[in-house]
Chain A
């Protein structure tokens, strides 16, 4: 075969069937917000469990549920945590099928895939997590990773917005980390309910609040959320003096393989699955397609 020249390069998975998922078991299911559940899980085979541990914040996995199919999910747990997690909203066929699983049920996972956030490169910087709604799911990993390596980073702020207080993600965790002084948390909602004392408005309305004291000089902003929120939050961050190379996000795309072959997630010159899903805003602009 004329590919002999190509195989000269070291290949990590020469004889591996990259499409073969590994069996995993649900340990516990907990409700987050409406239609969103978190699954605590582990691989059946300890060898798979150990191999998966090398994942990094921002990577993703392909998840199979019997009879429904396979779909990509981000990894909300930090590698520093003991347990693996998925947090997923019930939207399509696969996510709905996953929602029907209970503790003890078996499903399957392959991965981890993608580049992930280069957390080592961010050492010495302030980290600003800007998340709209379930956009906080992939960034949960970054938050807990940063707190597990607390001395390596400056301030760690979470600026989280949602439609209503009932739509805020991981609220008990955020409040606990805030109470213990590990994390600065600023919340905002579009439509407050009675008893809401924090900010009202879009995420951008928090960014220039004096009490937030948004660090812009030596910081990295992680931005995830619905397309509209994403666009405006980026606009506001740039207006406040942040640079495109210091704003990072993880892109969501329809994906079938996760390994750079099926072609669905290819945008501009990048495959989101293998070149991403983490891109700086500067790179996203170069990719030249809408979010």
Chain B
């Protein structure tokens, strides 16, 4: 993996380079009220790109897997339906993707491209994506209260999966790592210069210090995985998790690693419908309801059990060779019932009597 150094004043020039080479660049911006959001970069907003800000609540997952993605156009202007695949591969560069969200993309890659069937829609969109990872280096800003990537081994600095990784070394210098040949091509630009072993040493020292700055750095994730995988979690624990869940589905919609979708045919006009896939949530009761009304998974604790079993059981970790939780903490941030992943890990480990919070 090649490394280069650039001046902090030149970091946004990476955005310019990507835009010049034909990418639509999306980057994080601070929104009024303190939230952040990924949005397309324009000439007007380019200088407002936020290099350090709390990770936006909506992960950039949607550039690989849109919340609503057209699959087929179905025409019925003749004898029966005709199908036309609607496949899109916009050249999008995500600038400022956090390491946790990058791990989410890696999980999606393994899930959608692996298994018996390869998802050609995901593959097409994914191949056109350029990912610029920015390492979280500012406790209290980049690294929030609910972040727990050291527990899931996905951060604060991603080891792979990016085309380019940028890290603020403090002072006026940033370190750039190329993860792919496409990323390495950028190093020919004059903003990048060769670094010294001292730059890499500073990176390591910074990361070492950062790991201790997380509020949660041992969530006993592995203990929870072991308990779930061995079937040692009591029904009472699942019921307690279910009792707290408000069935809003929020955790699944902010999760960088959730993969479930539903498919719906929606009319475009009299003779055409569009088949789209739409993110879906296992937290919602209709998720398993069949025609005629029979629902094999009615109870809310069955559904919570499902989400956490899917994310924490060794079986699924082995199946995808990746964990479907990346330690971003968004579920903890959005959950009104306090059954985000860190709280659940605590409940699974200690049982409902020991509590965790509320």
Contacts and interface: CB of A to CB of B under 8 A. Distances in A.
A64 B111 CA distance: 25
B138 interface: no
A264 B290 CA distance: 10
B297 A290 contact: yes
A64 B81 contact: yes
A227 B294 contact: yes
Interface residues of A, number: 55
B290 A253 contact: yes
B116 A260 contact: yes
B179 to A, nearest CB: 9
A68 B264 CA distance: 9
Interface in B61-114: 71-72, 74, 76, 79-83, 85, 87, 106, 109-114
B218 to A, nearest CB: 26
A108 B291 contact: no
B23 interface: no
Contacts of A107: 80-81
Interface in A1-42: 1-3, 5-7, 11-21, 23, 25
Given A261-B117, A263-B280, A2 B106 contact: yes
* Band of interface residues on B: 35 or more
Interface in B43-70: none
A105 interface: yes
A252 B290 contact: yes
B80 A66 contact: yes
Classify the interface of chain B: helix, strand, loop or mixed: mixed
B194 interface: no
A196 interface: no
A194 B259 CA distance: 54
Contact of A253 (B79, B273, B296): B296
B212 interface: no
Nearest to A9: B114
A16 B160 CA distance: 28
B19 interface: no
Nearest to A110: B83
Contact of A289 (B76, B115, B117, B297): B297
Contact of A260 (B87, B115, B120, B275): B115
Contacts of A262: 260-263, 277, 280
B259 A263 contact: yes
Given A3-B109, A19-B85, 11 more contacts: A2-B109, A6-B110, A18-B118, A18-B120, A67-B273, A68-B265, A93-B291, A257-B263, A264-B280, A266-B306, A267-B297
